[in-house]
Amino acid sequence: MWIHRGTWQEARRAKADGRGRSRKVAERMGGRNMKKQVGLLTALALLLLSSPALAAEPTAAEAMRAVDAVWVVLGFLLVFFMQAGFALLETGATRMKNAGHVASKNILSFALATLVFWAVGFALSFGDGNSWVGTRGWFIDVSSEQAGQWFSSLAWADVPLAAKFLFQAAFLGVSLAIVWGGLAERAKLPVYFLFGTVYSALIYPVIAHWVWGGGWLAKMGMQDFAGSTVVHLQGGVAALVGAVLLGPRIGKYREDGTPQLIPGHNAVYGVLGVLILWFAWFGFNAGSTMMARGEFFPYVAATTLLAAAAGALGALFTAWAVMGKPDIWSMLNGVLAALVAITAACAFVKPWAAVVIGAVAGIVMVFSVQWVERGLKIDDPVGAFSVHGVSGIWGTLSTGLFAAPDLVARVGVGQPGLFYGGGLHQLGVQALGIAVSFAYVLAVSWLAFYLLDRAVGLRLGREEELAGLDISEHGLPGYPEQLPLAAPGGTPRGAAAPAATPSGAPAMGTGSD
């Protein structure tokens, strides 16, 4: 059909001016075919406009629910990104010959934790059940409306069930990553699979249910906003048990029992790892509000920031006074110790108390690392128990001292702390929660590691450990240019075996031994 150019332009002007001239223009165009086309287009427009997705704008409540869901998923992404921080920190704190293994096990660990948590862990942690464990929600279908009704302990958060699952799965991934710090540089690869499954199914979910899932500690009002006990104490205790049963790394202790330094191979990796963890921790703590509305999540982020800053300086100056040097690794662990401690208290305490909690955590961590290494003679390569276990205990106790009445009322959990006139009640609840959590994780972890040791063995052989886990477990070095492919005994292929090192000789300072 041919249309005169002037007529078409006139029709466009009529539509733009909104003067109702479209009918007149159509008549000028003439022809039934044109009228049919106009009628068809009009019907299509009406159909589109009548679509609920286009015609109905979301209500304010729906919009806020969508914003909260985005916030929770963002929190999940930040907590998930903590795996990159752990990979860098632990790789830098250990030796070059184990770098690939130490870094890559974070992927292995998170993948395993995700699947086990989806199958059974989420149900045991947050499913409706009894005071001890959840009993509903196995192999959860996060798109099911009915499934959402099985998790009443999470009903306070008005976000989709899928967002809740993602966020809590990332928390388990962090807790399990902590465990491996105590086993670094000497555990067999199957141990990660087997103990990781036990931890994700039978250890972590039980304490999570007691504290967060409507269990008996939740009913008593235990305050652990984002997991100083649920996430960090559990991981620290399991790491301690693994370190004890594995025994120290070759060369860690002289014949007289005095420890030798086995330096990490890359402090820059450690710094980058801690910066990533500090950044991602805002998703950990502020994300636990599970809502973006109001002023609460920025407040939680602020107390988190203040505590970490105080912990960094507290640990640095303490190490300087004790060791005679401002030790870099002590400063880095001071940041993490403070973050662990404020994780329970971030929503319950005032800014000044957050500074106190962080500073004390950093100071105590320095002495704890030395006590574990020299007093208990336990080889904890990255200080997992001191950073996560001891700091988790302090952080959980701190709410019993510093919890402010207005913040307690806002969160709706427990009572004010001792320093705000609350008496010893909340401090007692916190201490009880710590004690039973410590005991449960200690007992089950010890049993699991013992059975694994009997079944498959926990530790690599001497030759495999000396060669490094990159070679002995994976077949390739993490730094092929610096470390030539070695035989199982630790000797580069084609090279002569080195002379025996005298007993008690100091560890090499290259970080590659």
11 pLDDT higher than 90: no
* DSSP three-state, residue 140: coil
Task: Using alpha carbons, list the distances in angstroms from residue 386 to 267, 306, 335, 367, 502.
Answer: 19, 21, 13, 9, 32
CA torsion sign, 163 to 115 to 228 to 315?
negative
Same domain, 27 and 93: no
- Entry pTM: 0.85
Task: Write b or e for each residue in 40-72: b if 16 or more Cβ atoms lie within 10 A of its Cβ, otherwise e.
Answer: eeeeeeeeeeeeeeeeeeeeeeeeebeebbebb
Claim to verify: residue 19 and residue 143 sit in the same structural domain: no
141 shares a domain with 28: no
**pLDDT tens-digit readout, 368-425:** 999 999 999 999 999 999 999 999 999 999 999 999 999 999 999 999 999 999 999 9
Mean pLDDT for 242-271 is 96
- In the predicted structure, residue 327 carries a pLDDT above the cut 90: yes
User: pLDDT digits over 275-290, tens only?
Assistant: 999 999 999 999 999 9
> Is 336 found in the same domain as 425?
yes
Question: Mind listing the pLDDT tens digit for each residue in 111-134?
Answer: 999 999 999 999 999 999 999 999
> How many structural domains are present in the chain?
2
Using one digit for the tens of pLDDT, what is the confidence trace for 340-351?
999 999 999 999
Same domain, 223 and 329: yes
- Whether residues 39 and 176 share a domain: the answer is no
Cα–Cα distance measured from residue 269 to residue 84, given in angstroms and rounded to the nearest whole number: 11
Residue 3 lies in a domain: no
Contact 474, 105 (CB under 8 A): no
Residues 42 and 73 in one domain: no
Look at residue 23 in the predicted model and tell me its pLDDT: 45
Structural domain boundaries enclosing 280: 67-455
What's the pLDDT score for residue 481? 81
Question: Is pLDDT above 50 for 490?
Answer: no
Going by the DSSP 8-state scheme, the letter that residue 291 receives in this structure is -
Q: Are 37 and 115 in the same domain? A: no
Q: Same domain, yes or no, for 20 and 130? A: no
Last residue of a domain, one of 455, 472, 493: 455
**CA distances from residue 324 to 263, 265, 320, 328, 374 in whole angstroms, order as listed:** 17, 22, 5, 12, 18
273 and 399 belong to one structural domain: yes
CA–CA separation, 422 vs 416, rounded Å?
5
pLDDT-above-70 percentage for the chain: 83
Instruction: Tell me if 347 sits within 8 A of 407, measured CB to CB.
Output: yes
Mean of pLDDT over the chain: 87
CA distance 406 to 300: 14
Q: Which of 426, 455, 484 is the last residue of a domain?
A: 455
Quote the pLDDT of residue 205: 98
